Structure 1
Amino acid sequence: MGSPGTKPAAAAQEVVITDDAGTTKPTDSIALDEAIQHEHNLTFLQACKLYPAAIGWSAFVSLGVIMLAFDPQLLGNLYATPQFQKDFGYLFDGDYIISAPWQTGLSMGNPVGQVIGALVAGYPMELYGRKWTFGVCVALTTALIFIQFFARSLEVLLVGELLGGLVLGCYAVIAPAYSSEVCPMAIRGVLTSYVNLCFVMGQLLANGVCAGTSKLSDHWAYSIPFALQWFWCLVILPGILWLPESPWWLVRKGRYADAEAVLRKLSSEKVNVPQTLAVIVETDRLEQELEMGSTYWDCFKGVNLRRTEISVGVYCTQVLSGIYLINYGTYFFQLAGLPTEDAFSMGIGFLAVGFLGTVVSWPLIVRYGRRSIYNTGLAFLVVLQLVIGILDCIPGRPTGVTWAQSSLMLVWNFFYDISIGPVCFVIISEASATRVRSKSIALATAAQGAIGCIMTVAIPYMINPDEANMQGKLGFFFGGLAALCFCWAYFRVPETKGRTYEELDILFERKVPTRAFKGYRIDVGVHES
């Protein structure tokens, strides 16, 4: 339930909740202050005990992200699968490969989907809610997997990837928006960052599946991985019927009775649900008073422009720092000189380290916040990428250099998934105003997808042996881009830890400087009547 804080001192008044049936429930300002103070005092473990259902449903909706991550990672591994290369590729220097143009076209489905699908998702999420938008997307994914499964030509597979990517892009918007709206402040950071763990799990599963099927000598080497995507659809679809809707969305629709019922489903009996509901209503009222709006255009008006810039910036930094190399991880290791079997093993280890890093990030997020973790991690990524590039300049590139570069990529992925990977999803959920959250996250996802399209075109040409064949020198390219992103993040990414949504509204409305966010004091008790 991500809840608000205090409002400007001039606005001392009683909050009145009136539902669609005309029932009014006045909540005095003292009760609001008590609810806000209670949320500030709530520890992580206390919140876990009070909101077990919210944690479970948040994790359930994030399963869609596993499907989103599985698909592009699957393709990246198939480029290194001998049977896939033979059935879909051509001979080059005695080996079968998939040409760079076709790699680009096939891999474009996911980032194009993030651009179009994310922007489209913002509308049904506001009109019909998070629940049914999620359900329809899963049903469409179930149908579109058939195209990929039965594809026996690059042309048919391309159609399947493009159509599937349009739907998969929606999950990147739905998951963080839903998680940020059903959980209290104390566990908000961990559950929104869990989205990154789902990305890692999807990629890890794709690597593991392809490592197991890559030795097959018929079409099942790639048909089995495509078919396994149906597993997640079968898990998710039945649960949609019991999935609670976002209480924030219900409040914006004036359905206060439904919102209260949902809050009771998401929390234990010890939670004061009427007070929690009143806090959500008060935050929505404040954002209406501040004219936050609820359209895409409103994301660029007034203080929302700064909030949108932060969301877009932190998400795009993921791509600019080199994360799209993960999609080509196994292929990259293969081209670096590792045997095929070792390349697949390294690809699995690469993502296993990422899984560990995301889990390690959770206590850090709870303890240290967002800004310091994000900037420190990004600085490490810059250094590691540049070292990888320098190693590639050693004359003759001995075997030891190949293994050193591969090992440094593992270290790079650990620091990525301990910092800018998970923290990004926390920041985009907290930096956006609640009334435009789905659209703000959609814009950030679309911008990231647009840059992803550029990388999808560029990377095959940069790494393919019949093109630039840059190998480890890619470290200079992504290290330089990451350094520019670090300069931006240092001056623009604020600390949002420990702030309720209303407090964040106030901080942005008052144009508080980035580095002053953490220590800025907002007086409590201003709801006094």
Structure 2
Amino acid sequence: MAPSPAPLNSSETSPLLPKISNRDMRRASSDSSSASNMRSTKPTAEQVVVTDAGNTITKPRDNGLDEAIQLEHDLSFLDACKLYPAAIGWSAFVSLGVIMLAFDPQLLGNLYATPQFQKDFGYLFEGDYIISAPWQTGLSMGNPVGQVIGALVAGYPMERYGRKLTFGICVVLTSVLIFIQFFARSLEVLLVGELLGGLVLGCYAVIAPAYSSEVCPMAIRGVLTSYVNLCFVMGQLLANGVCAGTSKLNDHWAYSIPFTLQWFWCLIILPGLLWLPESPWWLVRKGRYTDAEAVLKRLSSEKVNVSQTLAVIIETDRLEQELEMGSTYWDCFKGVNLRRTEISVGVYCTQVLSGIYLINYGTYFFQLAGLPTEDAFSMGIGFLAVGFLGTVVSWPLIVRYGRRSIYNSGLAVLIVLQLIIGILDCIPGRPTGVIWAQSSLMLVWNFFYDISIGPVCFVIISEASATRVRSKSIALATAAQGALGCVMTVAIPYMINPDEANMQGKLGFFFGGLAALCFVWAYLRVPETKGRTYEELDLLFERKVPTRAFKAYRIDGTTHET
């Protein structure tokens, strides 16, 4: 999130935030400490009530803050786009790192179906060259292992040095490690390049949603955090398109050219880093209020009262300190943060358990299903093209209907589609019509994935976590899904390879069953977070509001009701 918009009249100018001295900050801290020990009997209209383990905490409330928060609630999506064009642009810029993250594993999945790569790195099996399941597992392990280790490592520099510097270091390291992949002529060297590259690529999955959620107002927060999913799709789509174009080459350029194109994104990102604004939320946590105000001015138009925006950020941070929400990994599991961490981890892991890792083997899967190589590559491109369309279609749905309903209904559709694919695979002889029907249903599956649990996941993990532990909460969720990804990376080659289980479409039963379990959990645990400021979400979780009551629950300065 970030900027709580407070538009001014065209004739007004944005007032400067009064300077806050160290003595004032110590006095505010002292007042907060005293307030946390008070017991209120009848709070006034200028107070916010927070229930904490049966105690009532009261704190003074600035009427200007309430006005700023109300303005943010009243801001429409289109007005937010007009007031925050720079925030939208920089959010999209940082998300470019996710394209690199998605490009790499998708590239490998396509290379397994590339004849020249199979010949140079594989072995003969029944007249055709293939890459053995153990080597497919080892090579593909770099990305999920990287997401586990890289995500957890990223949490520390993001909090200590900021989002901007951490992002820049990751891009530099990525550009260096691409050399290993480009010059690899053996599976052993390529494995080293994939593992080292994956460690850095895993950081982008944490940086992008955290940054997007901290530079944008509430009205466009859902769309810009879900844009991370579109970057995943674009990276995968580009990998499929490039490999489809180079797969017919009869020398090492059939796979060297795709590796080379990874430098393209580094060349775009590195110059832009010179102008990239830092997260205003991180600057406030570091006590750099003047820098935070300057950044907010860069992210918004002149019609936005950045002083009120900054005041809301400071107030939210103060509230979280008052509620004793720390900023370490351990704090993610303490008190109400445990529930918030569970939600973030759960929605991200559901992506893996519902079958998303099949996308990395999409072209190879279609090839094994019986489609000719050229048709398999075309189907792989179409597979991701409908995913691109689905993500774009999800944006107005997210703005209109929120998170919970889209997430749960989409997951239900995925379960049905997976089970139908599995049933079709049981038809004796698997005629050509069945093969095309299964392949087409996979396209439909990917459309509904990218209209629901794909993009909405990134919205939820950004909103469910407290601002002080957001980077670490997202890191834990990324690491958890990466760990599950490691399991799937080991299992899928053995399940689909012709020299192993050769399950083909029967994978629908496997992933459909896992997705059904995820649906039960999501229905019980995933709340509606649409239309809530970060302060309001803090209060909702602190009050232990039931999952299905989140949407209708009212937060009022004098009372609250469901």
Determine the C-alpha separation between the residues in 2 that align with 1:153 and 1:430: 44
Determine the C-alpha separation between the residues in 2 that align with 1:66 and 1:341: 25
| 1:3–1:36 contact (8 Å) kept in structure 2 | no
Determine the C-alpha separation between the residues in 2 that align with 1:337 and 1:22: 65
Q: Deviation at 1:526?
A: 8.8
Determine the C-alpha separation between the residues in 1 that align with 2:401 and 2:54: 45
Alignment CA distance shift 1:125-1:214 (3 Å): same
**Pairs within 5 Å for 1:248-327:** 248-327=281-360
CA-atom RMSD in angstroms: 4.8
Q: Which residue does 2:41 correspond to in 1?
A: 6
| 1:321–1:479 contact (8 Å) kept in structure 2 | yes
Alignment CA distance shift 1:5-1:124 (3 Å): farther
Q: Deviation at 1:3?
A: 26
SS of corresponding position for 1:18:
strand
| 2:103–2:239 contact (8 Å) kept in structure 1 | yes
Q: Summarize deviations over 1:421-443 as a string: whole Å, max 9, x none.
A: 00000000000000000000000
Q: Summarize deviations over 1:97-148 as a string: whole Å, max 9, x none.
A: 0000000000000000000000000000000000000000000000000000
SS of corresponding position for 2:450:
helix
Q: Summarize deviations over 1:72-118 as a string: whole Å, max 9, x none.
A: 00000000000000000000000000000000000000000000000
Alignment CA distance shift 1:3-1:507 (3 Å): farther
| 1:4–1:36 contact (8 Å) kept in structure 2 | no
Q: Which residue does 1:151 correspond to in 2?
A: 184
Q: Deviation at 1:28?
A: 3.8
Segments of 4+ moved more than 2 angstroms: 2-8, 11-29, 524-529
Q: Deviation at 1:527?
A: 14
Higher relative contact order (CA 8 A, sep 6+): 1
| 2:48–2:557 contact (8 Å) kept in structure 1 | no
Q: Which residue does 2:503 correspond to in 1?
A: 470
The percentage of counterpart residues that share the same residue type is 91
Alignment CA distance shift 1:39-1:396 (3 Å): same
| 1:5–1:499 contact (8 Å) kept in structure 2 | no
Q: Deviation at 1:53?
A: 0.1
Alignment CA distance shift 1:393-1:58 (3 Å): same
Q: Deviation at 1:15?
A: 13
| 1:6–1:503 contact (8 Å) kept in structure 2 | no
Q: Summarize deviations over 1:255-302 as a string: whole Å, max 9, x none.
A: 000000000000000000000000000000000000010000000000
Is 1:349 matched up with 2:370?
A: no
For structure 2, the 5+ residue unaligned runs are: 1-36
Q: Which residue does 2:59 correspond to in 1?
A: 25
Q: Deviation at 1:5?
A: 20
| 1:5–1:502 contact (8 Å) kept in structure 2 | no
Alignment CA distance shift 1:438-1:6 (3 Å): farther
| 1:148–1:161 contact (8 Å) kept in structure 2 | yes
| 1:463–1:471 contact (8 Å) kept in structure 2 | yes
Is 1:527 matched up with 2:527?
A: no
Stretch deviating more after TM superposition (17-26 or 339-348): 17-26
Alignment CA distance shift 1:6-1:125 (3 Å): farther
Which residue of the other structure, out of 383, 401, 406, is the alignment partner of 1:368? 401
- TM-score (norm: length of structure 1): 0.95
Determine the C-alpha separation between the residues in 2 that align with 1:379 and 1:314: 14
SS of corresponding position for 1:218:
coil
Q: Summarize deviations over 1:223-246 as a string: whole Å, max 9, x none.
A: 000000000000000000100000
For structure 1, the 5+ residue unaligned runs are: none
**Pairs within 5 Å for 1:425-436:** 425-436=458-469
Alignment CA distance shift 1:247-1:502 (3 Å): same
Is 1:40 matched up with 2:86?
A: no
Q: Deviation at 1:12?
A: 7.7
Determine the C-alpha separation between the residues in 2 that align with 1:257 and 1:528: 38
- TM-score (norm: length of structure 2): 0.89
| 1:3–1:185 contact (8 Å) kept in structure 2 | no
Determine the C-alpha separation between the residues in 2 that align with 1:463 and 1:489: 29
| 2:210–2:474 contact (8 Å) kept in structure 1 | yes
Q: Which residue does 2:166 correspond to in 1?
A: 133
| 2:84–2:300 contact (8 Å) kept in structure 1 | yes
| 1:33–1:527 contact (8 Å) kept in structure 2 | no
| 1:145–1:164 contact (8 Å) kept in structure 2 | yes
Determine the C-alpha separation between the residues in 1 that align with 2:349 and 2:153: 19
Alignment CA distance shift 1:82-1:524 (3 Å): same
Q: Summarize deviations over 1:371-423 as a string: whole Å, max 9, x none.
A: 00000000000000000000000000000000000000000000000000000
Alignment CA distance shift 1:6-1:205 (3 Å): farther
Q: Summarize deviations over 1:503-528 as a string: whole Å, max 9, x none.
A: 00000000000000000011157999
Task: Give the count of matched residue pairs.
Answer: 525
- Give 1 or 2 for the bigger CA radius of gyration: 2
Q: Deviation at 1:21?
A: 39
Alignment CA distance shift 1:77-1:489 (3 Å): same
| 1:83–1:219 contact (8 Å) kept in structure 2 | yes
Which residue of the other structure, out of 154, 157, 168, is the alignment partner of 1:124? 157
